[in-house]
Structure 1
């Protein structure tokens, strides 16, 4: 988990992960999106590859990189302990319950009116 957290700590690497979310890209396609040098982008890709967040495949003369989100699972599980419902979410749930209760109470009793018409 520490290796994954370290890999996503850098904003360039996070941006690369977002780019790869939509599909495979070559190192050149990735590097074209940054103002940093191609060797610097290659170093970022190496860190992502070594952490297991990205896999690479040689296709002809091109090396394509793809996102491998499986390694994010442990980090996501750890982070989820901090994602509890906010006070507002609980209040909205209570409001929704009250709205449904009020609607039910205001609804005319259709069963008794059907008996009177029959």
Structure 2
């Protein structure tokens, strides 16, 4: 069974030629250039990405297009990164299993992108 997402509705086609190495919870994995964190982990059979803020229940990939906030992980020390919208990068360190801060915390307004368009805009400013 192939779990790889090769045509993402927002990010487009995955180039399955160039491999990218990244870490998830201390283990090293490979994905492909333009793979999202979520699709790369799903291809390795990993479905649980974090724990719910209130219940502690496992959470994972749900909508896979950036609407639901279920796939939030910590990337290179930054909390609340949506795994379904974030492309993997060489040597990226992704952590799960933590309760993530609420995605719409008013004290963090404007810091985290809430849509893919905001994400691209912030990336263009870096």
With structure 2 as the length reference, what TM-score do the two structures score?
Answer: 0.22
Structure 1 or 2, whichever has the larger Rg, is: 1
With structure 1 as the length reference, what TM-score do the two structures score?
Answer: 0.23
* Greater share of residues in helix: 1
* Greater share of residues in strand: 2
